[in-house]
Amino acid sequence: MKPTAKMQLLVCMGIGLFAATTGRAQSFGMAKEKVTLVRKLPGAIHLTGTTIKVKVTGHDDQSDLVHDLQALLETELLKDDPRLRADENGAATVVTCQITAYAHPQPTVTTRPALTVGKTQGKNQSFTRVTGELSVAFQAKTASGQMLSSDNVHAKYDKEFDSGGNDASNGIKGTVSSTLNRITGQGSSEDLNPPTDSELRGKLMLDAVRQIAEHIVNTSETIEVYLARQKGGMDEGDKLAQTGLWQRALESFETATPLPKPADDAYRLYDIGVAYEALAYAAEDEKSAMKDLDEAAIDYGKAIDQKPVEKYFLDPQKRIETAIAHYKMLDEQKNQKFVPAATSRGKSSGSSPSAANGLTNAQVVAMVKSGMEDDTVATAVRSAKAVNFDLTAAGQQELTANGVSGKVIAAMKARAARKAAAAK
């Protein structure tokens, strides 16, 4: 597509604005590097067999959505784990899903002045906002009915486009980036224009399916992340990262001279976090992966603390929290020990109940203090195969004092109640 004079002017204006803002302080700006990571994530449960059945339900008017979501989820599970095969009768694992909410309202159009440059007032321009949401509750059980995992996943879409079809959700950065992609031919038509109803529906389904699959099977996903640039060690590290030499890239980032201002040096810390994240996905064992994920979480956290307004720092932290939660749940399942059944006198022939293995208050506190979001911790609590919580008044008081939220404590109570009901 040949760039028009208007598009060229917009790009020049955008580059000029970025030069003005990035010249004063370190930021991603227009000079950020894009690298590709293959995000490998272990499932949060251990499947007991190699056959699986997927069943999706919803409202009567959602029959097409139900059918497509079921087919997409089954395909994703089988793709991510080559050992699995579909079996409608006698499957070792049964995944049931219920569509609890689906909304795709008509796009809203507003009119407001476009970008103002210098003393020239921008002309009025129309902006189209497209939104959508899909919520699904799922359960994974064995053929005998034993609960393996259960959760609610939410997929959301919310973007705004200008009259030229450019993504304006992120202000001038998004508009200029979209325009550059349009000029250079990068990005698909779907990425550079507002999605149609069917495209929006597909995006929401794919997002929800990926979230469900991450709970059940090992997943592998290609993601694009940005690296900040700075002359010296950071730029050298970026070049090494582009070729996949992440260990050497990490050394360059760590030995680069820290910038005087914490808000500027946040980008170096962020790059260190990306390097550790890449090494975690390439690790050959779970212990090494956890170690690198923990390091990545620390550096991403430092970057956010030093510059909380940088939006590019937020998504990586969420990715790491999800990955750490999965590894912790897997570790809990592996370390669970057999607890002897009660004798005829009602007493355990083994250790006291307080010594029974399972997720404990201390482990929940550790997850909270590591920076995990409440939703991630609550998911870990709900999915834990065994728990050994102290939910007495004193136990709850200690949880609150250590920063555990009411939402997480409520999840702990619900999980403990489930344990008590199963014991009856």
Q: Give the three-state DSSP class for 91.
A: coil
Percent of the chain's residues with pLDDT above 90:
28
Angle at 130 between CA 317 and CA 198, to 5 degrees: 100
What is the pLDDT at residue 47?
83
User: Is 347 buried (19+), middle (13-18) or exposed (0-12) by CB count in 10 A?
Assistant: exposed
Residue 384 binned pLDDT confidence (cut-offs 50, 70, 90): confident
Tell me if 271 sits within 8 A of 253, measured CB to CB.
yes
Distance CA 378, CA 408 (A): 5
By C-alpha distance, which of 365, 358, 372, 356 is closest to 395? Answer: 365
Q: Which residue has the higher pLDDT, 346 or 65?
A: 65
Q: What is the pLDDT of residues 123-154, one digit of tens each?
A: 788 889 999 999 999 999 999 888 888 888 99
Lowest mean pLDDT among 207-216, 243-252, 281-290, 413-422: 413-422
On whether residue 91 sits in a domain, the answer given is: yes
Q: What is the pLDDT of residues 14-23, one digit of tens each?
A: 434 433 333 3
Asked whether the predicted pLDDT for residue 273 surpasses 90, the reply is yes
Asked whether the predicted pLDDT for residue 40 surpasses 90, the reply is no
What is the pLDDT at residue 15?
39
Asked whether the predicted pLDDT for residue 360 surpasses 80, the reply is yes
Structure tokens at 346: 């009602």
Asked whether the predicted pLDDT for residue 73 surpasses 90, the reply is yes
Structure tokens at 114: 């476009």
Mean predicted lDDT score pLDDT of the chain: 78
Structure tokens at 332: 């809990």
On whether residue 416 sits in a domain, the answer given is: yes
Q: What is the pLDDT of residues 25-34, one digit of tens each?
A: 455 654 567 8
Asked whether the predicted pLDDT for residue 241 surpasses 80, the reply is yes
Per the DSSP assignment, residues forming a β-bridge with 130 are 159
Lowest mean pLDDT among 230-234, 271-275, 416-420: 416-420
On whether residue 8 sits in a domain, the answer given is: no
On whether residue 308 sits in a domain, the answer given is: no
Asked whether the predicted pLDDT for residue 167 surpasses 90, the reply is no
What is the pLDDT at residue 96?
95
Q: Enumerate the H helices of 137-285 as residue ranges.
A: 171-184, 189-192, 197-216, 233-242, 246-255, 262-282
Asked whether the predicted pLDDT for residue 336 surpasses 80, the reply is no
Structural domain of 402: 355-423
Number of domains within the chain? 2
What is the pLDDT at residue 171?
46
The label of the residue with tokens 């921008």 reads 122
On whether residue 10 sits in a domain, the answer given is: no
Asked whether the predicted pLDDT for residue 292 surpasses 60, the reply is yes
What is the pLDDT at residue 278?
93
On whether residue 82 sits in a domain, the answer given is: yes
Residue 86's H or E segment, with its range, is strand 85-86
Angle at 94 between CA 89 and CA 96, to 5 degrees: 120
Domain stops at, among 202, 224, 246: 224
141: domain CATH number? Answer: 3.40.50
Domain stops at, among 224, 241, 268: 224
Q: What is the DSSP string of 1-54?
A: -PPPHHHHHHHHHHHHHHHHHHTTS---GGG-EEEEEEEEE--SS--SSSEEEE
User: Is 402 buried (19+), middle (13-18) or exposed (0-12) by CB count in 10 A?
Assistant: middle
On whether residue 202 sits in a domain, the answer given is: yes
Distance CA 115, CA 123 (A): 8
Same domain as 209, residue 64: yes
What is the pLDDT at residue 369?
79
Distance CA 319, CA 264 (A): 23
Domain stops at, among 185, 202, 224: 224
Cβ within 8 Å of residue 109, ≥6 positions away: 126, 127, 128, 129
Same domain as 361, residue 220: no
Q: Which residue has the higher pLDDT, 333 or 398?
A: 398
On whether residue 123 sits in a domain, the answer given is: no
